[in-house]
Structure formats: structure tokens, C-alpha cells
Structure 1
Amino acid sequence: MALFDLPPDQLRDYRSRSEEPEDFETFWADTLAETRRHDLDARFEPVTTPLTTLDVFDVTFAGFGGHPVKGWLVLPAGTSRPLPVVVEYLGYGGGRGLPHTHLLWGSAGFAHFVMDTRGQGGGWGGGDTPDPVGSASAYPGFLTRGIEDPHDFYYRRVFTDAVRAVEAARSHPLVDATRTAAVGTSQGGGITLAVGGLVPDLAAVAPDVPFLCDFPRAITLSDRTPYREVANYLKTYRGRTAQVARTLSYFDGVHFASRGRAPALFSAALEDRTCPPSTVFGAYNAYAGRDRTIEVYDFNDHEGGGPFQEAVRLSWLPARLTS
């Protein structure tokens, strides 16, 4: 697959044309205040596993609307003092899966909190968190659920769950709340950017090949799902383009990036047709924090850097969490 997006030198200067709604701040402040009326009710149940170097807890906490959201908390075995925590968000269609698939951060000496994504898990991993909220007609997938109105949009619930996941992780006595990082790849990267814009005191964020960024460009450039779901929806529901664009503007990673202050490590892949590199750079170039860097993988598709990017994270993140 050849390069298809902007030339690399132009990516560094690219600016998204996504328009931020005037009530963006109010919308999210009201959404989080509404959810915080529900008790967080974070519960951590020890799980017996064959893992001898890690301790695992089955987590339940109250997310959007007070709905129960699942997760895993993984700690180095025998931890007796509070540790910095890495809160991880998952890719599109996947669920939290089984504990032994989450070994990296606990093995590196951190607390690791993995949030299940409501309604997902049928594609890979397996999920344990239903989404009890229905929606009007939608194209198969998640990206057009409730897309007629930002208050009903699926990702309003997911982003709110993600903020509550940080709060749940920080509530555990073996977590040092002052040293919290958010990480994720693809959909997880987009959720990470949202959390970075909504939680002001994170120590670091690391969004890899993030989805949910620069919607005006993404939905007209990418011919793959999930972005293609929006085009297919509009192919059926003609005349709703402006309405859909307005909804998506409340969830665009570009606008969350403009509020992010924590040190940030991005990644982009120049042959990525799922999350085109210009959409990633649209968020990266809007990022407000001064300590930001981006790893670029010249000949990779949506797999991005894969284990190479994991190695970059493992060398980059400790300095932000252990100082």
C-alpha cells in the first residue's frame, strides 16, 4: 500500500478544520456533573489466576448514568505501597478479555487499570459491560449510535465512563492518584485524548494511532470502518450531514487535544487508512501541552508501531510517572 495522505512535511503544519461548538465546555461539564451524582461505588474483587508475578482484581464501578462498568486492576504481586497507575482504553470492538492478556504494565512495576468498553467485546477479547441505552436507527457498528443528537451519542457514555475509570483507579489504596497516565491505541487512543482534555491533572497521556480525531477530514478520506459507518449512514439518511457534523464536533479529539496539558506521546502510521495520519496530526498539532512528541511509522498501516511502539512507551512513560 502506497502513501495516500498528505506528504510528511505537510503533516507537521496541518491544521484541522473541525469547528468547536460554542457550548463544548458546558456540554462536558454538565455531562460529568450529571454522572457524578451517582456514587462511584468502585469495587475490587481479588481474582485467583495462575499468574505468580501479578495480583489481579475484578473491578466494577459506576459510569455514565450510574451504569456498572467492568475492568481489571493488575498489580505487581505482593504490592504494599501505592504505585503510579496506567489507565488503559481498548480498541474498537474489543472487550477487557482475560487477565493474562494484560501483563505489560504490571510487569514493568506499575498498577494497570483496564477499562471494559460498554457494549463492545464481540469483535475480540470478550466484554462484560452491556450498554443499557438504546438509540434510533444506526449503521452497524458503534459510531452512528445516537448520532442525531450529542446528548444521545454513544461516545458521550464511553468518554464519561473513561473519566470515571480514572476516578475508580485512583480510589484504590495501592494506587498513587498523583501519578496517573492514560494510554490507548486506535479507539483507545481517541478515548485517551478525551480523558486528557477532561481530567486536568494527569501525569501523562499516550494516544497511539488515535481514532475519533478530525472528523470532517476522517469521514471523507478513510474508506474503512469505523469512519465509513458515518458515510454509509448518510448515504441512507440524506440531508442529515450538518446535524451529524454538529454531533461529532462534541467528540472530536482535536478539541480535547487543545485542552490537554499533560506530557503526551502520540504515534501515527503513514499508510494508515483506518485512522489517516493527517487526522492524527490534526490532534497532535492542536495539542496544548508543551511536552509532546510523536513517533511516525513510515511504512505501516493501522498496526502502527505495534511492539516497537510499546517499547517506546516503556522507555518514555516511567520518567513521567516515577519522578
Structure 2
Amino acid sequence: MPIFDKPLPELYLYQGRNPRPDDFDLYWEQALDELAATAPDPVLEPARDSPSRHAECFDLWFTGVGGARVYAKYLRPKNLRAGVRLPAVLRFHGYAMNSGGWTDKLAWPLEGFCHASMDCRGQGGRSQDPGGVWGTTLRGHIIRGLDDPNPHKLAYRQIFLDTVQLARVVMGFPEVDAGRLGAYGGSQGGGLALACAALEPRIQRVAPVHPFLCDYRRVWEMDLAKDAYEELRYWFRMFDPRHERVEEVFAKLGYIDCQHLASRIRGEVLMQTGLMDTVCPPSTQFAAYNKITSPKRVVIYPDYTHEQMPGDLDLMLDFMHGL
């Protein structure tokens, strides 16, 4: 088969190119301290637009860092008996998208899970982004905050923390067994699932599909700063056309690089990746995978690109049944 990235044996050894800041651990400890001081104030409202007759569907709102009100869809099985506690899964969406409709989530409550799907702040859904404007933006989130002297202003720092706040809100619901929580998603959602499990180590199972937000410098050096990563190219063309700040830029991006968070994951990991993925190159995904020290496996689709892969959702459901 043709290859454009490293051969598979080399992928299993690859350790990434993007630098890890010296104060990386302190950065995230301070971020988690800020989150701990942020009261989530969750509100559940019965969803008026749900078509389901077999699941209870809710609009969930909670507060993230900076005062943002963050939205998620929350589903649970109907007619729960008092005192019953169920496993729960968190789902994160692709870049610039949103949590979608209700129907594609109904398998989870029918299989005995609670399910939450978050709208990333400032992207295509209902969550607020008080650092910018209300409403949606189309990408630009990797580089948002890059020119601020304070790396705590990076947009993905806040989004990563929102995933943790969602996890903690869901774990606090009376019908949820806080010791049986999973996270999954594809592309950006896969990266966020990794970040969530790294920053909330009580998450027991993680199922990323072709995760985004990993090893930015490798993407740049492969000349693949296009599609989902195109803003890296735009930033250099507009703000550093002579590449005088390359080291500084990739060092700062290291704070929000999921490969550097991966070693904090304590739950079991099931990753799925296509070897022909030119959007999130396989080597960038393996940069994160190879740093995971908890039980893990990766399912390989040799001929697949950055797309829906056959049976991926079935694998994830079966995996989450182990909670």
C-alpha cells in the first residue's frame, strides 16, 4: 500500500517533534486550580426538540473558566429506579462543529448509559465565548491567544478545562456512577477526549478517533498546515513572514499539545486511526499514543483517510461496555 507518513513500525516508536514547555506541569496545575475555583452552577432543562420516546433528553448548561456558560446535550434512560447508578460517556465534536442532534446519541441510553455531548465555546454551537464575541467562529482556535504575552489566554486551554468541568458535572448527577466514566470523539473530539482524560484522571475509558491537536510542529514540517491546521500557515504568513518566531510559537503551542498531556491518562485507551490521513497525520496521533502509559491499543485502517471508518462506533460502544 502507498504511504505518505512514517512506516507503521516507526509510528509505534515516534515521540513527536513539538517542544514541551519547561513549566508545562505548573501551567496545567494552575489551570486546574482556576477551574476548581469556578462554581459550575449546572442547570438541566427538559429538551423541547427531542424526538425520543425511550430516553430523557435535557439541555445542560454549566459555567466554565472566565464565566462562560457552556452548553451540552444530556441523555439518560427513561424510568430510572431510585438509587440506580449508571455509567456515563462524554462525547466531543469535530472542529468548528457542534453537538449535533439527538438521534445519533440514542443508542447510548438504550444501552444503559448516560450521555453528554458538549458544544465547544466559540465554535458552531450554543456555548458562550466571553473572551471574544457571542456566536460562532470558523476555526482560528489553535492560534487564538498566541500573541498574548500570557499563555493562559490560549483558547484551547479554556476548551480543555470545559471538558473537565463537564466531566465533573456529570459525575455529580445522582444517576451517574462517578467511577464509570468514559470519553470519546473524532478529530478535534478525539483530541478533547485525550485532554479530558488527562486532566480528569478518574475517567476510566477513552476512545479517540484520528485525534487532532497533536504535534503541531510535525504538521508544519510535513507541509500539511492546511485543512484543519490551515491557521498555522495563515499565522506565519501574516505575523511572521520571515519565520523569526518559529521556536517561540511552537514552544507556546506546546501548552495545548495533547501529546504532552497523554502521559497523565490513567484510563484504558482505544484509539482508531487511518494511515492515509493527511488532515491529522498518523505520526502526530502516534506522538500522543506512544506517551500513554495506561492500558491501550490502536486499531489501524490502512486505506482510510480523515473520515468515518467502518465499524468505529460499534467498537467504541463495545469498548465502553467495559465500564
TM-score by length of 1: 0.91
User: Are residues 1:89 and 2:89 paired?
Assistant: no
Cα offset for 1:139?
Answer: 9.8
Cα offset for 1:261?
Answer: 1.7
CA displacement 1:176-228 (0-9 Å, x = unmatched): 11111111110011111111211121111111100001121023322422212
CA displacement 1:37-75 (0-9 Å, x = unmatched): 221111111224331111101100111223110001111
1:226 maps to 228
2:154 maps to 153
Cα offset for 1:140?
Answer: 5.8
Cα offset for 1:17?
Answer: 2.8
2:61 maps to 60
2:303 maps to 299
Distance 1:219 1:155 in 2: 19
Distance 1:9 1:213 in 2: 19
2:112 maps to 109
| Aligned length, in residue pairs | 311
Distance 2:33 2:139 in 1: 31
Contact 2:20 2:260 in 1 (8 A): yes
User: Are residues 1:34 and 2:34 paired?
Assistant: yes
**Counterpart amino acid of 1:93?**
A
User: Are residues 1:266 and 2:267 paired?
Assistant: no
Distance 1:273 1:226 in 2: 10
The 10-residue stretch of structure 1 (262-271 or 308-317) with the greater mean CA deviation from structure 2: 308-317
Identical columns (%): 36
Taking only aligned residues, the RMSD between alpha carbons, in angstroms, comes to 1.9
1:124 maps to none
Distance 1:206 1:139 in 2: 26
Distance 2:192 2:271 in 1: 13
Contact 2:96 2:139 in 1 (8 A): no
Distance 1:226 1:220 in 2: 15
Name the SS for the 1:245 alignment partner: helix
Distance 2:71 2:164 in 1: 14
1:9 maps to 9
Cα offset for 1:103?
Answer: 2.0
Counterpart among 287, 290, 293 of residue 285 in structure 1? 290
Contact 2:86 2:175 in 1 (8 A): yes
2:198 maps to 197
Name the SS for the 1:258 alignment partner: helix
CA displacement 1:262-285 (0-9 Å, x = unmatched): 100011111101100111111111
**Counterpart amino acid of 2:302?**
D
The 10-residue stretch of structure 1 (76-85 or 52-61) with the greater mean CA deviation from structure 2: 76-85
Contact 2:39 2:63 in 1 (8 A): yes
Change (3 A) 1:59 1:286: same
CA displacement 1:130-182 (0-9 Å, x = unmatched): 211039xx996322111224211110110011110101111211111111111
Name the SS for the 2:251 alignment partner: helix
Distance 2:6 2:52 in 1: 46
CA displacement 1:5-54 (0-9 Å, x = unmatched): 11122212222133221211111111121132221111111224331111
Cα offset for 1:241?
Answer: 1.8
| Structure 1 unmatched runs, 5+ | 122-126
Distance 2:200 2:47 in 1: 29
**Counterpart amino acid of 2:303?**
F
Contact 2:90 2:182 in 1 (8 A): yes
Distance 2:160 2:121 in 1: 10
Distance 2:110 2:252 in 1: 40
Q: Which runs of 4+ in 1 moved over 6 A?
A: none
CA displacement 1:278-299 (0-9 Å, x = unmatched): 111111111121x100011111
